[in-house]
Chains A and B, each alone.
Chain A
Amino acid sequence: MRRVVVTGLGMVTPLGCGVDTTWTRILNGQSGAKKIDTFEVADLASQIACVIPRGDGSDGTFNPDQWMEPKEQRKVDDFIIFAMAAARQALDDANWHPSTEEDKCATGTLIGSGIGGLSGIAETSLLLKERGPRRVSPFFIPGRLINLASGYVSIEHGLKGPNHSVVTACSTGAHAIGDGARLIALGDADVMVAGGTESPICRLGMAGFCAARALSTSYNDAPQKASRPYDKDRDGFVMGEGAGVVVLEEYEHAKKRGARIYCEVIGYGLSGDAYHITSPSPDGDGGFRSMSAAIKRAGIAVSDIDYINAHGTSTQIGDEIELGAVERLLGNAASKVSMSSTKSSTGHLLGAAGAIEAIFSILAIRDNIAPPTINLENPSVETAIDLVPLTARKREINVALSNSFGFGGTNASVIIRRVAD
C-alpha cells in the first residue's frame, strides 16, 4: 500500500480561529468554556459550552465573512462554515491549489459531522408548524445535510476526486482521517481533504445531551473548571463546536512537489463495542481492540508509542474505562507514555473532536511537547501513565496515537509518526 503523509492543517475551535492560535492557547492551559449567552439556558441542567470566539478576525477570533460569502452563509448551518474555514486553512498550509484537471481529479474530500445542521432543523420545524410548508426554504435540506460540508468545500476549491463523508458520532473526525488515508493508500486519490465539523450548541442540542445525562451540570458558575478528564470531581462533558481538517497526501506526491511533511499516518484501527447505545463497554474492550488494530496496521510495538491523545471526555464512567484499556494495551510500557485529554481545554467537539485531536497529536510530534490535561487536580485513580496534569510537558514525541469513541459503540484509533528527513 502507498504511504500517506499529512501536509496541511486547519481548524476553528473554541480557543480561536487557526491552528497556531489554538495550539498556543492549549499549551498555555487555557479553556474555551463560558456561560452560554446566545439562547435561553435557565431551564437547562447544563448552561455552559466551549464556544468559538466570534469577532472581526483579529486576535484569533472567527469572522465567518472571511471564509464564506454572507449570502451563502444564510443558506447553511454553522458546521458548514466552520468546515469551509478549516479546509481553506489546510489547503493554504499545504500550498495545494489544484488547477489542472488531473490534479483536481486526484484530490478528494472527506469531511464528516456527528449531527449536522441541528439548529437549522430545530428552527425550520418550528417554522413548518407555525406557518406551513410553503415557508420552508429550498436551502433547508442542502444546508443541513452532513455531507454538504464536503460538498461545499469541493465546489469552492474545485476538488473532483472522491467526495465522501463520515457519520460516526464522536468518532467521526478520526474515521474521516483514517478512511481518507486509506483512499490514498489504495490509489483512489493522491490528496484528501479530511476531517470533521460540528455545530451542536443550540437549545435542542443541549436539551438532548442533558437528557442523555452526558453533560457537566455542577460547574455552571465556573465553566472553565467543568471539563476535567480523569479528575475525581468530573461530572460530564462540556459541549464544544468547531472543525478540524487536514490535507492527507501520498508520500511520493508530497516529496515530488517539495511539500512540507508534518508526519506520516502509519496506523488506523476500528472496532465496535456491540454493547450499549451511549455507554462504553465496561471492560474497555472496544477501545482496546481499535488501538490494537491500529498498532498492528502500523507494524510497531506498543513501546514505540510516546504520546496518546485520549478520547477522555470528562464523563464519570468513560474516562476510567479508556484508561483501563490503555493500561492493558501498554503493559510495562505505560510509564514511558504521556496521555492527555485536550478536551479539558476545547470541550467535546463531537464529530470534529477526532480531527482536531489528530492535529494536536501532529503538533505534539512537531514541537516535542505533550499538551496538558487542565483541571486535573486530583486524579480519580492511580496510574503509571503520565496524564500531563495542568501544564504541558516538553518531551520527545515521535509516535502518537489518537483515540475517538462514539455513541453506538463505534471506536477509532489513528497512529502518526514523525518522518525522518
Chain B
Amino acid sequence: MSEIGERVKKIVVEHLGVEPEKVVDSASFIDDLGADSLDTVELVMAFEEEFGCEIPDDAAETILTVGDATKFLEKNAKS
C-alpha cells in the first residue's frame, strides 16, 4: 500500500473505530465499515485536513470506498 494509502487507512480506523484489517481498498465506508452519511462527511473533512486539499462536494460523492479515497488523494494531496 502506498504511503498515502497508509495515511488514509489510519484516518478511517480512527474515525470509524474499525479493525485495521477490514480497511482494504475495496471496503465501502457505508456497506462494509458501518459508517452513516454523517460519518462519511466527517471522513472527507479529515482527509482534507490530513492532505491539505479541498474535496469538493461533487468529488466527495464519488468517494465510496477506501480505494476511491486513496486514488483521489494520490492525485490531489498537497501535503
Which A residues are within 8 Å of any B CB, using their own CB? 69-71, 134-135, 137-139, 142
Contacts and interface: CB of A to CB of B under 8 A. Distances in A.
Contacts of A70: 17
A421 to B, nearest CB: 48
A139 B17 contact: no
B63 to A, nearest CB: 15
Contact of A138 (B16, B17, B38): B38
B16 A137 contact: no
A142 to B, nearest CB: 8
A71 B42 contact: no
B17 A71 contact: yes
Interface in B7-65: 15-17, 38, 41-42, 45, 48-49, 54
Contacts of B16: 71
Contacts of B54: 134
A139 B45 CA distance: 12
A135 B48 CA distance: 9
18 contacts: A69-B17, A70-B17, A71-B15, A71-B16, A71-B17, A134-B45, A134-B48, A134-B54, A135-B45, A135-B49, A137-B42, A137-B45, A138-B38, A138-B42, A138-B45, A139-B38, A139-B42, A142-B38
Contacts of A69: 17
A262 B16 CA distance: 41
A138 B41 contact: yes
Interface residue tally on B, bucketed by range: 10 to 19
A88 B45 CA distance: 33
Given A134-B45, A134-B48, 17 more contacts: A69-B17, A70-B17, A71-B15, A71-B16, A71-B17, A134-B54, A135-B45, A135-B49, A137-B42, A137-B45, A138-B38, A138-B41, A138-B42, A138-B45, A139-B38, A139-B42, A142-B38
Contacts of A134: 45, 48, 54
Contacts of B42: 137-139
Interface of B: 15-17, 38, 41-42, 45, 48-49, 54
A81 to B, nearest CB: 16
Nearest to A72: B17
Nearest to A131: B49
Nearest to A137: B42
Contacts of B49: 135
Most chain A CB neighbours (cut-off 10 Å) among B15, B38, B54: B38
For the complex of A and B, 4 pairs with smallest distance between CB atoms: A71-B17, A138-B41, A138-B38, A138-B42
Nearest to B38: A138
A132 to B, nearest CB: 11
A70 B42 CA distance: 16
A107 to B, nearest CB: 24
Nearest to B16: A71
A279 to B, nearest CB: 42
Contacts of A137: 42, 45
Contacts of B48: 134
Nearest to A71: B17
Contacts of A139: 38, 42
B39 to A, nearest CB: 8
A338 B51 CA distance: 64
Contacts of B45: 134-135, 137-138
Contacts of A135: 45, 49
A351 B41 CA distance: 32
Contacts of A138: 38, 41-42, 45
